Structure 1
Amino acid sequence: MATLHTPETIPSELHGSDNPGAHPEWQYLDLMRRIWEEGDERVDRTGVGTRSVCGAQLRFDLADGAMPLLTTKRVYWKTATREMLWFLTGDTNIRPLVLQGVKIWNEWPHARYVKETGEDISLDDFVARIADDETFAKRWGDLGPVYGKQWVDWPTYRYRKDGLYERGEGINQVAEVVESLKSNPGSRRHIIEGWNVAELDRMALPPCHKTYQFHVSGSGEDARLNCVLYQRSCDVALGLPFNLWSAALLTRMMADQTGMKPGELVWTGGDVHLYLNHAHLIEEQLTRQPQGNPTLAITRKPETIFDYQIEDFEVNDYAPLPPIKAPVAV
């Protein structure tokens, strides 16, 4: 059996929180190791069981195109990018993702369909029906008002003279933050919030990466855009690699649109956990060492942050170790 790396078995020039030259990915591996070795074992919503710690923080410098793209296993960054672009449309139906071959949201509507209809249909057959039948997709592919809906169309309501309420114009938080970064960079209110308490029960999954706050350091040509992401619940093995990429990508897009340089991504987790059925992934990944420093180039600046296409993003110097598959807990 391969030996798990520990701080004592890794050369000091490669690792160490007090070593400024250490590869930034060691932060992720150290967190994974700490949870697996010291985490509190708990029964969770899915019934799978986790080891969990309360509170964690990772920091990544995004200067010079650097991105927190893991190299100790392949991360499908194009899939995560397509998801982010989908969020920015405000769409909540999986069909646009399915038609692009993005599978990460399929399990939730499939589980709901099976529960509500009693039909014993495989996930693959369900997804094929979503792709082939627009009417079926409209009925069964919707996730409720998740992420993008809150980001670009947060609901408002007006009180009418007859004593009833009616839906008002939705709030586009993303557009408002872009404008506030341009007009009032020193504000402490550059926030995109996904946790709409009134609509949580209508969501297939309440937002995990729930709050993004942007911060501008420096000024003029030296202005740097930083982002703090608070994530209430984090699956470190499967979810966090995507979350880190996506948050850094959103920060890069915001910086691009506001004429700033990329600054730092600060990721903060609340319930930070590993699933017990991911042991093979965790133990394999902890035998690996980071390699290389992938970068992201944005090849086109569209008119708005909502107009980026997958072709506008180019990753360089990414030569990761092989992927490690594990089941998603639904």
Structure 2
Amino acid sequence: MKQYLNLCQHILETGTKKGDRTGTGTYSVFGYQMRFDLAKGFPLLTTKRTAFRLIVSELLWFLKGDTNIRTLIQDRNGIWDEWAFERYVESDAYTGPDMTDFGHRVVEDEQFAKTYKAELAAFKEKILADEDFARKYGDLGPVYGKQWRAWDTDHGVIDQLAQVIESIKTNPDSRRHIVTAWNPAEVDEMALPPCHLLFQFYVADGKLSCQLYQRSADVFLGVPFNIASYALLIHLIAHECGLEVGEFVHTLGDAHIYQNHLTQVQEQLSREPRDLPKLNVNYAGRSIFDLNVEDITIEGYDPHPKITAPIAV
């Protein structure tokens, strides 16, 4: 994973100091590309422990077209909790303690952090216990899964992923193996507009490669997840289409390190990468759309310890 560490170093050395939507501030570069040969191992970061199970459950959530965090909470995945919680506390239904700007306050105020954790836990418990509440406040709007599997048009719903799989099988040399999550008509309805917004598949020599365009890349927290998630997606789609895996090409627009992640990035850069793990998928004759979290595992993963950092909401 030298490619990823090189990106971190490049931003530290050449990045421009910028403001951002969250008010945290970043060091940013524009336009960067990494390439990963998937035949050389599964690209799960080894300079810090990365939660592979969360990556798997989120990707399967996308593949099923789901947009409600209830499924993720049931899978013990909190990746999207803050986004749904933010929508809830900004609604008229919320009557608890003031949660304004909780993303910053939880880091700066120890007492507030306790209150926030209690409110978030209560919110998640209600999502699990009350289907009506979950339907209203657990849904993130028409985010990734909705766009991948059920893009609305005047002429009906388009399942982009199913179409691209069929296209790869029947016309592998096509230059139109594309899935996009950026729907201008629905961006404002999403809890978070898609960061990894468009990907294109490419078939050559019996191998499936994929290039992702990511408009916004949180390099410390988000990018390691994105790399592993799309590497996994390539493995799954390749299997579905009877192909071997090729390359994952990761193209970044605004690649940034948040100013409150600098210490963590420096610690990671001081560590030596270790051997990449191997991916195992138990297909058992099933489609990739029928897989469960337990069907997808890795072996030989021996990373350095986890490094924590606050998420910018």
TM-score clears 0.5: yes
Match for residue 226 of structure 1?
Answer: 209
User: Which position in structure 2 is the counterpart of 1:119?
Assistant: 96
Aligned partner letter, 2:239: D
Offset of residue 91 of structure 1:
1.2
**Aligned equivalents of 2:291 and 2:61: distance in 1?**
11
Q: Counterpart amino acid of 1:33?
A: Q
Q: Kindly indicate whether residue 46 of structure 2 is the aligned counterpart of residue 59 of structure 1.
A: no
1:136 and 2:150 equivalent?
no
Equivalent of 1:93, from 68, 78, 82? 68
Picking from 167, 178, 188, the partner of 2:165 is 178
* Kept in 2: contact 1:71–1:320 (CA 8 A): yes
Distance (Å, rounded) in 2 between the aligned partners of 1:320 and 1:95: 30
Which of 273, 287, 291 aligns to 1:304? It is 287
Classify 1:177/1:37 alpha carbon distance in 2 versus 1 (closer, same or farther; 3 Å).
same
Could you tell me how far apart the structure 1 residues matched to 2:179 and 2:287 are? 17
Superposed, 1:18-97 pairs within 5 Å as 25-63=1-39, 66-97=41-72
Q: Identify which of 187, 190, 194 aligns with 1:207.
A: 194
Could you tell me which of 175, 179, 195 is aligned with 1:192? 179
**CA deviation digits over 1:239-268, x for unaligned, max 9?**
001000000000000100111000000000
State the one-letter code of the partner of 2:35.
Answer: R
Q: How many residues are paired up?
A: 291
The DSSP-based 3-state class of the residue aligned with 1:198 is: coil
Corresponding residue number in structure 2 for 1:154? 151
Cross-structure match for 1:236: 219
Distance in structure 1 (CA, Å) of the matches to 2:69 and 2:96? 20
Deviations 1:81-105 (A, max 9, x none): 1000001111111001011110000
Deviations 1:22-60 (A, max 9, x none): xxx111111111112321011100001110000111110
| Shift of residue 128, structure 1, vs aligned partner | 2.0
Shift in Å at residue 118 of structure 1?
Answer: 4.8
Q: Residue 92 of structure 1 contacts residue 149 of structure 1 at CA under 8 Å; is this kept in 2?
A: yes
Q: One-letter code of the match for 2:130? A: D
Alpha-carbon separation, structure 1, partners of 2:191 and 2:165 = 28
1:318 maps to what in 2? Answer: 301
Structure 1 224/301 Cα, relative in aligned 2: closer, same or farther at 3 Å? Answer: farther
Give a deviation string over 1:119-155, Cα, whole Å, max 9, x none. Answer: 3262222222212222211111110000000000000
Which has the larger Rg?
1
Displacement of 1:304 in angstroms is 2.4
CA distance in 2, matches of 1:73, 1:97: 23
Q: Structure 2: where are the runs of 5+ without partners?
A: 98-115
Partner Cα separation in structure 1 for residue 65 and residue 152 of structure 2: 12
Instruction: Kindly provide the amino acid, as one letter, of the partner of residue 88 in structure 2.
Output: Y
Aligned-partner residue type, residue 279 of structure 1? L
Q: What is the DSSP-based 3-state SS (H/G/I as helix, E as strand, rest coil) of the residue aligned with 2:275?
A: coil
Look up the equivalent residue of 1:319 and give its one-letter code.
Answer: D
TM-score w.r.t. the length of structure 2 is 0.90
Is 1:286–2:266 an aligned residue pair? no
Q: How far, CA to CA, are the matches of 1:327 and 1:132 in structure 2?
A: 28
Which has the bigger relative contact order, CA under 8 A and spacing at least 6? 2
Distance 2:288 2:146 in 1: 16
In structure 2, C-alpha distance between the alignment counterparts of 1:302 and 1:107, rounded to whole Å? 37
Q: Aligned Cα RMSD in Å? A: 1.2
Contact 1:153/1:171 (8 A) holds in 2:
yes
Once the 2 structures are TM-superposed, how far is the Cα of residue 279 of structure 1 from its aligned partner?
A: 1.9
Residue number in structure 1 paired with 2:204: 217
Name the residue aligned to 2:247: 264
One-letter amino acid matched to 1:246:
S
Q: Distance in 2 between matches of 1:304 and 1:38?
A: 45
Tell whether the 8 Å contact from 1:248 to 1:265 is kept in structure 2 after alignment: yes
Q: Please give the secondary structure, in 1, of the residue aligned with 2:152.
A: coil
2: CA distance between counterparts of 1:33 and 1:302?
Answer: 43
| Structure-2 residue corresponding to 1:21 | none
CA distance in 2 between counterparts of 1:182 and 1:302 reads: 18
**Aligned mates of 1:145, 1:43 — CA distance in 2:** 27
> For 1:324, what is the secondary structure of its paired residue?
coil
Q: Where does residue 275 of structure 1 map in the other structure?
A: 258
Identity of aligned residues (%): 51
Contact kept, 8 Å, 1:63 with 1:262, in 2: the verdict is yes
Aligned-partner Cα distance in 2 for 1:129–1:312: 29
